[in-house]
Amino acid sequence: MEPSGTRSEQRIDELEARLAEQDHSILELSDEVYRQQRQIAKLETEMQRLTERLKTQPQSAASNATEIPPHY
């Protein structure tokens, strides 16, 4: 039979290894969330720019889409 000190040490070592793994996973997830937040901010800026661009374009382009083409 193993001494209780050795068994406790093994459990502590296992827990420390799991904690280190979890810390590493948390850091990776945090980095990914940061990258995604930056990408979302860029996409929002681009969407606003495109929306403004559409608002400033002449309305004739929209009305031409509803007209019957000249070959009819």
Q: Is 58 within the bounds of a domain?
A: no
Question: Within 10 A of 28 (CB to CB), how many other CB atoms are there?
Answer: 10
- Please give the tally of structural domains in the chain: 1
Query: Does any domain span residue 64?
Result: no
pLDDT per position as a tens digit, 17-40: 999 999 999 999 999 999 999 999
Give the pLDDT confidence score for residue 26 in this predicted structure.
98
What is the reported pLDDT for 71? 79
Report d(CA 12, CA 18) in Å as an integer.
10
63 in a domain, yes or no?
no
Domain hosting residue 22, numbered range: 4-53
Residue 36 lies in a domain: yes
pLDDT of residue 72: 63
Q: How many Å from the N-terminal Cα to the C-terminal Cα in the chain?
A: 96
Query: pLDDT tens digits, residue range 37-56?
Result: 999 999 999 999 999 999 99
- Has residue 66 been placed in a domain? no
62 occurs within a structural domain: no
Q: Where are the alpha helices (DSSP H) in the chain?
A: 4-56, 60-66
- Hey, what are 13's tokens? 């070592």
pTM of the model: 0.61
In a domain, 22, yes or no: yes
11 within a domain of the structure (yes/no): yes
